[in-house]
Structure 1
Amino acid sequence: MSGAAGTTVAGRMRPYRIRVPESSIDDLRHRLRQTRWPQQWEVGGWGYGTDPVFLRSLCEYWAESYSWRTAEAELDRWPGFVDTIDGEQVHFLHVRSPEPAAVPLLLLHGWPGSIYEFHRVLGPLTDPRAHGAEPADAFHVVCLSLPGFGFSGPTRQPGWDIRRIARAASELMTRLGYERYGVQGGDWGATAAMHLGVLDADRLVGLHVNLVNVPPPDPAAAEATSPDEQAYLDRRAELAAHGLGYLAIQRTRPASLAFGLLDSPAGLAGWVLDKFRAWSDCDGDVLRSFTPDQLLTNLSIYWFTGTIGSSARLYQETAAANSGLVRQRITVPTGCALFPAEPLLAPRSWVEAACNLVHWSQMPAGGHFAAFEQPEFFVRDVRSFFALVR
């Protein structure tokens, strides 16, 4: 089932260690200390976007106390590699299980996340025996930095939409020697996983997602046909009215946005942290879901790799390619984990029409950044689903 995997294939792949120059860390701190903060206004809090008091406090911590070297060492615990696929660099972690019958599992993050979302699940997934679970639940994990994100570096060619990313992920699994594998994704990673459900249908053991975005069974239907469907449409309308400004900008003018976010770490933090608060299960307090260091490590990955612009460009490329939804029915066994604060949870009837749904679970807590927020629930559900299909 697992196939063979190596660390090099025809001389293409090479080990990758994260080594941010000290000068880059010094530059980050200097920019943070020189931030021009907006004049305080009467109404504080998050009503107009990211809370300026919270952001200023976090950026002061980023400049004076946060340790990138600690985060760097944490990430470098796992074997990292880079390769060139379709003309662009791709970075990935490849963590082999000690269990010989382990199933290969591709993990795919989204925006504004990174491979760091998965850092607390890599051990339990690859070595369940060491974490008090059954060895039969083991995986060989491949955790891809999506092209244009993180340590893959900025994409330089046009046309890198989410379907093209899925093709690159499939090619990576081929180069690693995995004839059969499973895939898990959230956000853009979920969309890429669903594309793989069509592109790699003969190779996929199963497909597990924690964001469920599928077209309605009858696109021409003007109204929902059940209370669940109506509730979903109401949620989507509310999100469109109050929470999708970022989407309109990144889908239409990502380069205009990128100038400021690539130049100002405070600007980058203000843009990204708004989503971590809005999409996590934090009841309005983002520090209920994440520590300051966790938030800053994810931000630092975007900052040091200069990838906020290319990550935002994915929205425009995908809109131009019309690949944001998979409209062909997915026959691969599919599992959905519904974390309660996830903004996009399509009704079950739609998912059943779009996918070969064999697993549907309601999580007790968590949101959009499932593995990051609730690693134990995430691992448990991934194991439960793949136990059905491995």
Structure 2
Amino acid sequence: MEIRPFTIAVPQPDLDDLKDRLARTRWPDELPDVGWTRGVPLEPLRELAAYWGEGYDWRAAEAGLNALPQFTTDLDGQRIHFAHVRSERPDALPLMLTHGYPSAFAEFTQLIELLRRDFHLVVPSLPGFGFSTPVRQSGWALGRTARAWAELMRRLGYDRYGVHGGDVGAGVSGAVAGLDGEHVAGVHVVTDPVTAAATATFLPGMAERLDPADPVDRLALDRMAEFRTADSGYLAIQNSRPQTMGYLLNDSPAGQLGWILESFERWTDLPYDRDQFLTIVSLYWFTGSGVSAARFLYEQAHSTDWGAPPAVPQGYSVFGADPTVRRLLEPAPGTYWAEHERGRHFPAMEDPESLAADLRAFFADLK
């Protein structure tokens, strides 16, 4: 039951080791003129690695994160790290923000500043991510995490609260709403065409109910096919052999950097802050959580515990919107639905203002 104050304090030898490893990276060659078609190109990664080692200021990022009140507590035998930012308004609605993969609680720093007047914010690190480590037991997937999240909100004294997330965080948030509907005011998630296509790819029978002769359905099927051929490689590895991949992620900062950079470059279409991105990568590196984060995806891929469907008000914010998203997700009547032409998988970094406005609008009548 204990909630312990937490301060990030990366030892200086760890910073020195990162700089040394980056400087000694053994870079591969590459084929000419293939661009991003075969993965992260050499020069962009070398330039970013050089900046990470020589220009990026971790101590400034660390101080910025430590400006957020942070804590740890034990839930179901697992240490869980979270930020807890209380509004000055006593009637503010508590709101839990859950990140996805490959990300961290630091994804929400801009969003926190935009929302901290309107909500009491609870921002946990998923089990196996960042400072919610080490993981000593198997079985940490959506359902178990949702039960831990509901207990965390109870432990903090919140009887009524909202939940929000994207990617894995959307699944966890939906599971929390299904599990703890008596206390959850509403669940809001973000998505985009690629995420919707990825979700549909894993739903039994989805392809069969789409009509190739219909233009929207045809586009949805094309997006599902593109995900299977161009975007699902990381899932194939982490859903089957996360421990093997973990040796690379834990030993090579350039490898960890490239692994995360590919997702950000493929799944964004608006500029995001380079230093904030490197803060996320640094959290993976300094906590050695590349392998345990990968194992979270393995656990879910081999789990039947997806939680109950939510029976509370639901809201979607679609970034990079096109007609395929509504067709694939089929929102129920009365669902809050907001579409944004730009932004994609990481809207808390790409377009935090629009996301904050949607969250205020969705939860305005649910307090």
Whether the TM-score (by the shorter chain) exceeds 0.5 is yes
Q: 1:41 to 1:61 in 2, by over 3 A?
A: same
C-alpha distance in structure 2 between counterparts of 1:215 and 1:238, whole Å: 10
- Note if 1:351 corresponds to 2:330: yes
The structural deviation recorded for 1:215 is 9.0
Deviates more, 1:98-107 or 1:155-164: 155-164
- Note if 1:191 corresponds to 2:171: yes
Judge conservation of contact 1:339–1:365 (CA < 8 Å) in 2.
Answer: yes
Judge conservation of contact 1:338–1:361 (CA < 8 Å) in 2.
Answer: yes
What is the match of residue 134 of structure 1? Answer: none
Q: TM-score, normalised by structure 2?
A: 0.92
The structural deviation recorded for 1:346 is 4.0
Other structure's SS at 1:151 match: coil
Judge conservation of contact 2:219–2:324 (CA < 8 Å) in 1.
Answer: no
Picking from 180, 205, 210, the partner of 2:160 is 180
What is the match of residue 102 of structure 1? Answer: 92
C-alpha distance in structure 2 between counterparts of 1:216 and 1:270, whole Å: 26
Other structure's SS at 2:312 match: strand
The structural deviation recorded for 1:242 is 1.3
Deviates more, 1:199-208 or 1:314-323: 314-323
Deviates more, 1:77-86 or 1:206-215: 206-215
- Note if 1:223 corresponds to 2:209: yes
- Note if 1:121 corresponds to 2:107: no
C-alpha distance in structure 2 between counterparts of 1:217 and 1:280, whole Å: 24
Give matches, 1:1-390, under 5 Å: 10=1, 12-127=2-117, 138-211=118-191, 213=199, 219=205, 222-224=208-210, 227-282=215-270, 289-323=271-305, 328-340=308-320, 346-348=325-327, 350-353=329-332, 357-390=334-367
Other structure's SS at 2:28 match: coil
Deviates more, 1:58-67 or 1:247-256: 58-67
Q: 1:214 to 1:245 in 2, by over 3 A?
A: closer
Cα deviation, 1:162-195, whole Å, max 9, x if unaligned, reads 2111111111101001111000000100000111
Which structure 2 residue ranges, 5 or more long, are not aligned? Answer: none
C-alpha distance in structure 2 between counterparts of 1:362 and 1:341, whole Å: 6
Cα deviation, 1:338-371, whole Å, max 9, x if unaligned, reads 00079x9743574335xx7520010132110111
Other structure's SS at 2:10 match: coil
Cα deviation, 1:101-121, whole Å, max 9, x if unaligned, reads 100000000000111110001
C-alpha distance in structure 1 between counterparts of 2:340 and 2:67, whole Å: 29
Q: 1:351 to 1:174 in 2, by over 3 A?
A: farther
Q: 1:37 to 1:362 in 2, by over 3 A?
A: same
Q: 1:220 to 1:52 in 2, by over 3 A?
A: closer
Other structure's SS at 1:247 match: helix
Matched residues, number? 359
Cα deviation, 1:263-307, whole Å, max 9, x if unaligned, reads 00000011110000001114xxxxxx2233122111001000111
Judge conservation of contact 2:207–2:221 (CA < 8 Å) in 1.
Answer: no
C-alpha distance in structure 2 between counterparts of 1:161 and 1:345, whole Å: 28
Q: 1:215 to 1:263 in 2, by over 3 A?
A: closer
Q: 1:209 to 1:357 in 2, by over 3 A?
A: farther
Letter in 2 for 1:79: P
C-alpha distance in structure 2 between counterparts of 1:215 and 1:45, whole Å: 27
The structural deviation recorded for 1:254 is 0.4
- Percent sequence identity over aligned pairs: 43
Other structure's SS at 1:315 match: helix
The structural deviation recorded for 1:83 is 0.4
C-alpha distance in structure 2 between counterparts of 1:58 and 1:102, whole Å: 40
C-alpha distance in structure 2 between counterparts of 1:365 and 1:334, whole Å: 22
The structural deviation recorded for 1:39 is 2.2
Judge conservation of contact 2:201–2:224 (CA < 8 Å) in 1.
Answer: no
Q: TM-score, normalised by structure 1?
A: 0.87
Other structure's SS at 2:330 match: helix
Other structure's SS at 2:80 match: strand
Judge conservation of contact 1:105–1:139 (CA < 8 Å) in 2.
Answer: yes
Letter in 2 for 1:351: E
Letter in 2 for 1:95: V
